[in-house]
């Protein structure tokens, strides 16, 4: 399944507890239709204290569903839908629906 976000994109969360927050995509999980966004959906786990982890707590960013994020338009800084356009060379690029400009390079 083709997804509208890639690793390194800046996205904004459009629904849920983290609504309105922005972050950079760290990982994309296409089989699960989820993305991991830096600083969004942070969880804390308890584990037995070890030599490396004295407290026994560790935090991590949990995946969020792909439908709950939108790519931020590089021109206007607003969330935008993503379209596709094929160049003369045959390369497929992502296009911002808001401004009509290319997102990829």
Q: What is the pLDDT of residues 31-63, one digit of tens each?
A: 999 999 999 999 999 988 888 878 888 899 999
CA-wise closest residue to 2 among 25, 27, 33, 36: 33
Q: Are residues 61 and 84 in the same domain?
A: no
Query: Does a structural domain hold residue 4?
Result: no
Whether 17 is covered by a domain: the verdict is: yes
Model confidence pLDDT, tens digit, residues 9-25: 999 999 999 999 999 99
Strands of the sheet containing 34-37, edge to edge, are 64-65, 34-37, 22-29, 10-13, 69-72, 79-80
Q: With respect to residue 15, please indicate whether it lies within any of the assigned structural domains.
A: yes
Regarding whether 68 and 82 lie in a shared domain, the answer is no
Please count the structural domains in the chain: 2
**C-alpha distance across the termini of the chain, in Å:** 22
- 88 and 56 fall within a common domain: no
* The model's pTM: 0.84
- Stretch 68-95: mean pLDDT, rounded? 92
Residue 64: domain span: 10-72
Distance CA 42, CA 71 (A): 20
């Amino acid at each position: 399944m083709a997804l509208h976000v890639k690793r390194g994109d800046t996205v904004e969360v459009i629904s849920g507890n983290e609504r309105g927050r922005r972050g950079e995509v760290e990982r994309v999980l296409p089989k699960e239709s989820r993305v991991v966004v830096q600083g969004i959906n942070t969880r804390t786990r308890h584990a037995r204290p070890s030599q490396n982890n004295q407290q026994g707590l560790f935090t991590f960013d949990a995946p969020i569903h792909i439908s709950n994020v939108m790519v931020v338009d590089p021109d206007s800084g607003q969330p935008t839908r993503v379209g596709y356009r094929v160049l003369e060379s045959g390369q497929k690029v992502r296009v911002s629906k808001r401004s009509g400009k290319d997102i990829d390079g």
